[in-house]
Chains A and B, each alone.
Chain A
C-alpha cells in the first residue's frame, strides 16, 4: 500500500471521528432538548392542573362564572398542549404516560361537565337538593383523584426526562471515549507503521546513495512493493544504471583521451627531439661553414701570396703569358677570398644573441656615405638621407644591412649621369619600413626572388663585380629581427629596398 494511501486513510479516519463526534453532539443535544421539553411539559401540566384546580374550587365554592370560563379556557390550553406534545416525545413509556394524562384530562373534563350540568339542572333559583350536592361532592372527589393522577403522571414524565438526560450524557461519554480510543489506537498504529516504512525506505535509499557515492555504480536498492519508496528506489536504480553506463562511456572516453594525449606527448617528444637534432645539425652546419671558410683562408693566402711572390721576385724571367696566368691565379684567389669573407659574414649573421640597441639609422647611413665617398672620391653622387631615422635591434647587424644596401646603391649607380641615393622611412599597414632607393641599374622584377639567394647575381662580373652574398645576409638579419625585406626595381631606372625591424620595435 502506498504511503499516500495510508496517510489518506489516517486523514479519513480522523475526519470520520470528527464527523461522528459532531453527530454525537448533535444527537445528544437533540435528546437533551426532548428531555427538557418533556420536563417543561410536565411542569406546565402540573402548573395548569393546579391552576385549573384553583379555578374549579373558585367556581364550586363561589359559583364564579368567570372562573368556570377560565377553567374551560385552561382545559382547552392543556388539551392543545397535550395534542401538540406527542411528536416531541420519544420513548414508549413517555407516550403511555402522556396517553394516561390525556385520558385523565378527558375524564376530568367529563366529570366537570357533569358537575356543570348538575348545577345547570338545579338552576332557576331553586335551592340545590342534598342529592345534587351529594352527587357534586362525589364528582368533585373524582375530580380530585384525577388531579392527583395527573400530578403523579406529570412527575413520572419529569423523572423520565431526567432519566433521558442522564442516559444521553452517559451514552455520549461512552461513545466519545470509544471513538477517541479506537481512532487514536488506529492513528498510532498507522503512524508507527508509516514511520517504520519511511525509516526503512530512507535507510535503504541512504545505503544505496552511499554505495553509489562510493563508486559502486552497479548497486541495486533492494526495495520492492507499491509504495513511493519503491518508486524512488526504481528511479534510483535506473539512475545508477544510467550513471554506470555514462561512467563507463566516460571511462572509455578518458582512456581514449589518455591514449591520444600519450600519442601527442610521444609526437611532441619526437618533435622536440627532431627540433633538437635539427638545431644541432644547424649549429654543426654553421660551425662547419665557419671553420671551412676559416680554414680555407690559409691555403688561399698561400696560393695568392706565392703567385704574387713569383710575379714580384721572378717577373723578369717569366714570359708575358705566364705572368698573365699568374695574375689570373691572383684574381681568382682574391675573388675566392671575398666569397669566403661573405660566407663568414653570412654565417655570423645567424649566430649569437641579438642585442637590443637603439640605432640612429640616419647617422649610420651618413657614416657609410662618407666612407664610400672616400673610397671613390672622384664620384659625384647626390644623397638624400632623412633625418632622425631611428630603429631598434642589434646595432652591428643593422649596420651590416645598411652597409650592404648602400654599397649596392653606390655600386649600381656608377654608370648613371646624375646618381641619386635616398634613405627614408615609411609606414605600411602600421609597420615602419626603412627604405634605400637609387636611380641606378635596377633589375627585372621577374628575377626578384633570386636577389636574396646566396651567390645568385643578376649582373655579370664585368658589369658590376660582386659575390652575391650581401642581400642574402641582409635578409637573414631582417628575418632574425622578425621583419621582412622587399625589393622592387625597374631595369635602368633604379631599385628600392625596404625592410622592417619589429624585434627592435617591441622594446
Chain B
C-alpha cells in the first residue's frame, strides 16, 4: 500500500508507540506517520506553531490518533481546541486509549471525536486493531477536504 497521506500519532508511551509503528509497518503505512508525544506538541503540530511553525501548510493529516492520558495538555482538551478552531474544525480524530471508562467515551463523542477505539489488552489484537485503523482512515475513509 502506498498512499500519500499522513497519520499523526499522539502517544506518550514509547512502547505503545513502537508497537503501533510496527503494526503500521506491517501494513506498509509506517512512512506516513508523524509522532508527537504530548498534547501541546500535538496542538503546535496541527496549528503550525512553536517547533512546527515551518511545517508545510498543505500537509493536513488524514487522521489524528489521539490518546487521552497525555502530559501537559490532555487528549480531550486537544480535541476541544481543534473543534473550536475553524482551521481544524473538521479534522478527523480517533481517540485511541487504554481507558474503557464510559465517562471518557461519552466526553470524547461530545467533544466531536470521529471514533473511539480502546487499545486491546491482547497485543495480537492490538496490532490488528491499529492496522485496521490505519487502512480504514487512509484508504477507505473519504476526508472532508481532498
**A interface list, Cβ under 8 A from B:** 294, 297-302, 304-306, 308-309, 333-334, 337, 340-341, 344
Contact = CB atoms under 8 A, between A and B. Distances in A.
Nearest to A290: B101
A340 B122 CA distance: 11
Given A297-B98, A297-B119, A301-B123, 9 more contacts: A297-B121, A298-B13, A301-B16, A302-B19, A304-B122, A304-B123, A305-B15, A305-B19, A309-B22
B98 A299 contact: no
B123 A333 contact: yes
Given A305-B127, A309-B22, A298 B98 contact: yes
Most A C-beta atoms less than 10 A away, residue of B13, B19, B123: B123
A298 B122 contact: no
A309 B16 CA distance: 13
B125 to A, nearest CB: 10
A301 B119 contact: yes
Chain B CB within 10 A, most for which of A298, A300, A301, A333: A301
Q: How large is the interface on B (under 10, 10 to 19, 20 to 34, 35 or more residues)?
A: 10 to 19
B16 A308 contact: no
A301 B130 CA distance: 13
Contact of A300 (B13, B99, B121, B124): B121
Interface string B92-121: 000000111000000000000000000101
A308 B122 CA distance: 11
Contacts of A294: 98-99
17 contacts: A297-B98, A297-B119, A297-B121, A298-B13, A298-B15, A298-B16, A300-B121, A301-B119, A301-B126, A302-B16, A304-B122, A305-B19, A306-B18, A309-B19, A340-B121, A341-B121, A344-B100
Interface in B5-54: 13, 15-16, 18-19, 22
Contacts of A301: 15-16, 19, 119, 121, 123, 126
A308 B124 contact: yes
A394 to B, nearest CB: 13
B127 to A, nearest CB: 7
Closest 3 CB pairs of A and B: A305-B123, A302-B15, A304-B123
Given A294-B98, A294-B99, A301-B126, A337 B121 contact: yes
A334 B126 CA distance: 12
Given A298-B16, A302-B16, A305-B127, A337 B98 contact: no
Contacts of B127: 305, 308
A305 B126 CA distance: 9
Contacts of B119: 297, 301
B26 to A, nearest CB: 9
Nearest to B127: A305
Contacts of A340: 121
A344 B98 CA distance: 12
A301 B19 CA distance: 9
